[in-house]
Amino acid sequence: GAKKLWGGRFSGATDPLMEAFNESIHFDRRMHAADIRGSQAYAKALLNQGILTADEQQQIDSGLSQVLSEWQAGTFKLCPGDEDIHTANERRLGELIGAAAGKLHTGRSRNDQVATDMRLWLRDEVNQQLEFLRELVGALVQRAENDLDVLMPGYTHLQRAQPIRWSHFLLSYAFWFQQDAQRLEQFLPRVCQLPLGSGALAGNPFQVDREWLAKELGFTSVAPNSLYGTSDRDFVAEFLFIASMIMIHISRLAEDLIIYSTAEFGFVQLADAYSTGSSLMPQKKNPDSLELLRGKSGRVFGDMSGFMMTYKGLPSTYNKDMQEDKEPMFDAVDTLTGSLQITSAVIATLKINADKMKNSLTGDMLATDLAEYLVRKGVPFRQTHHISGAAVKMAEDRGCQISDLSVADLQTLHPSFTDDVAAVWNFEKSVDNRSSIGGTSRVTVEAQIALLKKWLQ
């Protein structure tokens, strides 16, 4: 095998099977830029301590920049023995600049290095996911604004409940995604805590200025204990949880739209661009994009629970188990990246059938409004609920709509019913009655749109 960074105390060779089992380069190469950034900052910190001369630091800095451009150009050649990204970059730096490369790792360990790389990498990804979330909220708000007049049945238990605005439904998800974005923002300061300078476990013996390093790398604090700094992967678990919550929201939205796109509902039609056909049944148009969104949520929960199983039993500081932290993190980021973009596109291109939504509204969905009519006449709600229920039953027994009952019919249930009861049978009015903050009235839906637009600015 090739010469190893840690080979000094070894006389026997590594089993090739073990080499393959041990390496992480095929996935942690994704962090090549973060690894180089961390090393360039660390070399400057060593210069500040007089560990490197200005010339050595210069060589290291420009050598690392060259390594980075090789990665970016796709010309970086992996060698046997490049077990991970840290080893590979340092090996290549040595080939480029010679002896000075051997001073870079002074006082540093791959343990504080890998934790730093992961946090640098994840910070940039979190900012990217925030962009995707804002695009999605923007797509939902745009639609909510355009389709403001469209009424539809609202459901509880998937049974027709009360009329709502279609926009009100869309905005319910927009607020979830806004909260997801806020969660990610609140998470950022915990990602931006610097492990570098923790050494292998016990700290740095060359008095590197960790506050300076944190600033140099755009971090907001320094891990205050070196054992904690090298042990901690809470930021991975927390990211995976937030990613899982986002996927839950995407999955629930997908499920709603799958149901609404069936012929039986017919409320929405997915654009061809996000549907696929059947190899056997010529008439089929299937909502595959939505089904994948729903399905991929399970995958991200798997990333989270799998990682937590790995993390839970580890003794203090670095253990090789922790190499298993990266793939779930990468997978969750990739899945989220695809899912958020597809969800935005599906929402923006969705066709709706406003007539089908409206025609699905039935008189009995105003039974609550009928009870509220009596409440406004001074009858206690508990009583009105019962009376309105009796009206529903009366209409059912006669095979008519509740709105077809005459005032005389209703008066057999309570004397307070008068001619003005006719005004109850109006879906627009029912919807606009709900005008306390958060309700489905036009004014309060417009207020929701304004809130989100302000946040999006």
Q: Which residues bind ligand ARG (CB under 6 A)?
A: 24, 28, 84, 110-111, 114, 318, 320, 322-323
Whole-number minimum distance, CB 124 to ligand ARG, in Å? 18
CA 68 to chain centre: 29
Q: Is 278 a catalytic residue?
A: yes
CB of 449 to ligand ARG, least distance (A): 46
The residue nearest ligand ARG at its CB is 84
| DSSP type of residue 220 | S
Q: Are 116 and 33 in contact (CB under 8 A)?
A: no
CB nearer to ligand ARG: pick between 121 and 267: 121
DSSP 261: T
CB of 184 to ligand ARG, least distance (A): 24
Do 229 and 112 form a contact (C-beta atoms < 8 A)? yes
- The active-site residue, picked from 11, 157, 279, 436, is 157
Is 26 considered catalytic here?
Answer: no
Nearest distance from residue 294's CB to ligand ARG, in Å? 32
CB contact at 8 A, 143 and 135: no
Least separation in angstroms between residue 115's CB and ligand ARG is 9
Q: Which among 316, 310, 323 is positioned nearest to 86, based on CA atoms? A: 323
Please tell me which residue in 278, 305, 316, 406 is annotated as part of the active site. Answer: 278
Matching residue, tokens 């995976």: 240
178, 455 contact by CB (below 8 A): yes
Both tokens of 217, joined, read 């790398």
Which residue, 260 or 311, is less far from ligand ARG as judged by CB? 311
Q: Tell me the C-alpha distance between 457 and 453, whole Å.
A: 6
Contact residues for 304 (Cβ-Cβ < 8 A; gap 6+)? 237, 240, 241, 243, 244, 328, 332
Catalytic residue positions? 157, 278
